[in-house]
Amino acid sequence: DAKTTQPNSMESNEEEPVHLPCNHSTISGTDYIHWYRQLPSQGPEYVIHGLTSNVNNRMASLAIAEDRKSSTLILHRATLRDAAVYYCILRELSGGSNYKLTFGKGTLLTVNP
């Protein structure tokens, strides 16, 4: 699996936007970019995914660089409930049956009231 690099930690204030970066310089053309988050004492939770175009859903937006070597998860208005570890994961869309998610250490987001 291609590798991703994320900052260990980031801090934000409540109700402000948060931009969580992820570098993936060895991404291949068939790799999708997925984001999960893990709230304290809970299992990971799917946030969003994309391939080339920017994506929006009710939780967040995903901005993907034109060369696809980096992406940014955007939380438009951080709340205290968004404090979590955020994982950027590359998934190869292959014909096999391996649905494995390869988790790194992620970014610990702290949201200040």
Residues that bind another protein (CB under 8 A): 32, 34, 41-46, 49, 87, 91-94, 97-106
24, 27, 30, 33 alpha-carbon torsion, rounded to 10°: 0
Nearer to another protein, 8 or 67 (CB): 8
- For the CB of residue 13, give the shortest distance to another protein in the complex, in Å: 26
- For the CB of residue 34, give the shortest distance to another protein in the complex, in Å: 8
Nearer to another protein, 74 or 103 (CB): 103
Q: How far is CA 104 from CA 6, 58, 86, 95, in A?
A: 9, 25, 10, 24
3-state SS assignment for residue 96 = coil
Identify the DSSP state of 5.
Answer: B
Nearer to another protein, 21 or 32 (CB): 32
- For the CB of residue 97, give the shortest distance to another protein in the complex, in Å: 5
- For the CB of residue 49, give the shortest distance to another protein in the complex, in Å: 6
Integer Cα distance of 38 and 29 in angstroms:
27
Nearer to another protein, 29 or 113 (CB): 29
Phi, psi of 80 (to 5 degrees): -60, -30
